[in-house]
Amino acid sequence: MAPGVLIFNPTSGRSDKRALARRLAARLNVLGAEAELRATHRPGEASDLAAQAARAGAAFVAVMGGDGSVREAGEALAGGGTPLLLLPSGTSNVLARSLGIPLNPEKAADLVLTGEVRRMDGALANGRWFFFMCGAGVDAEMMAAISIPAKKVLGRASFYPTAARLLMTYRFPLLAVEADGERLNGGYVVVSNVSHYAGRYVLIPGADPFDGRLGLVVFEARSWREILPHYPHLLKGSLLGRPGITHRAVQQVRIQGPPDVRWQLDGDAMGTLPVEIDVRPGALPIYCPRPTPSLSL
């Protein structure tokens, strides 16, 4: 079997990552998992490099970057047998948080020895893979508006000026949702494969990315005045069950609305509605922490 490959985005997050990538490659070598470094320089290149590695029979594909780089590599690995090793070093690291992967990438590298490979669910949205969430409405508008250079310099703080502008200008359009035959309406829609949202926030407590279903959350709110009261409950992980919030476990979702409403995947703006989403159970092999044995008395 060929050595593994470590794909890294040199500018993910707020600093140059080349030195860290070299340390991680050295760490993997010490663990007996040789890895060859591959840097990305353009959008979509992580997918190309992961596909090349899988075709060459790489033992694993490690990705050191943000959620966008992980999604790109996952696109190439979904449905195959080459496992993904996630080394979080981005701004939000939603997938790592949801899977219990250490946020320290050097500790995450140890999973190649101490972890286990599991096949997590993925989903297709208009034919594009995603692994933790699809959003339609205000969050996609924010992703499209954020300056990439500002995000690299300011990190999560880059979201605040955009959020402030949208607070003054965004009008929540009516979105029509059809989910496994049920029809719902709202002003903002999230389809999530995992528990976490936008970093450390817990949107769907107990969400299981291995159960063959997606979590649908529909916000009925059609204005900031209606949606902002939900925010403290998102911070506490107690959003579900509130009036104006509908939650379902689903396999297929179609979201329709005005043709200028945007949708996003795993933090990257994609296009405008409509969007059709289908779960793909067990699509992505990925290194995860081993479950902690429960103690019985």
**Contact status, residue 188 vs residue 227, Cβ threshold 8 Å:** yes
Average pLDDT in the 252-261 region?
98
Q: Which helix (H) or strand (E) holds 33?
A: none
Domains within the chain, CATH numbers bracketed:
4-114 (3.40.50.10330), 128-281 (2.60.200.40)
User: What proportion of the chain, given as a percentage, has pLDDT over 70?
Assistant: 92
Predicted confidence (pLDDT) per residue in 195-227, tens digit? 999 999 999 999 999 999 999 999 999 999 999
Predicted confidence (pLDDT) per residue in 146-159, tens digit? 755 545 545 555 56
Predicted confidence (pLDDT) per residue in 29-57, tens digit? 999 999 999 999 999 999 999 999 999 99
**Contact status, residue 274 vs residue 141, Cβ threshold 8 Å:** no
pTM of the model: 0.92
- Say how far apart CA 7 and CA 9 lie, in whole Å: 7
| Residue partners of 184: CB distance under 8 A and separation at least 6 | 176, 177, 178, 218, 246
Q: Is the pLDDT of residue 289 over 70?
A: yes
Q: Is the pLDDT of residue 297 over 50?
A: no
Predicted confidence (pLDDT) per residue in 101-115, tens digit? 999 999 999 999 999
Q: What pLDDT does 294 receive?
A: 56
Confidence of residue 253 (pLDDT cuts 50, 70, 90): very high
- Say how far apart CA 283 and CA 272 lie, in whole Å: 25
User: What is the residue-wise DSSP string for 189-243?
Assistant: EEEESSSEETTTEESSTT--TTSS-EEEEEE---SHHHHGGGHHHHHHT--TTST
Predicted confidence (pLDDT) per residue in 151-187, tens digit? 554 555 556 677 778 878 899 999 999 999 999 999 9
Confidence of residue 292 (pLDDT cuts 50, 70, 90): confident
Average pLDDT in the 264-273 region?
95
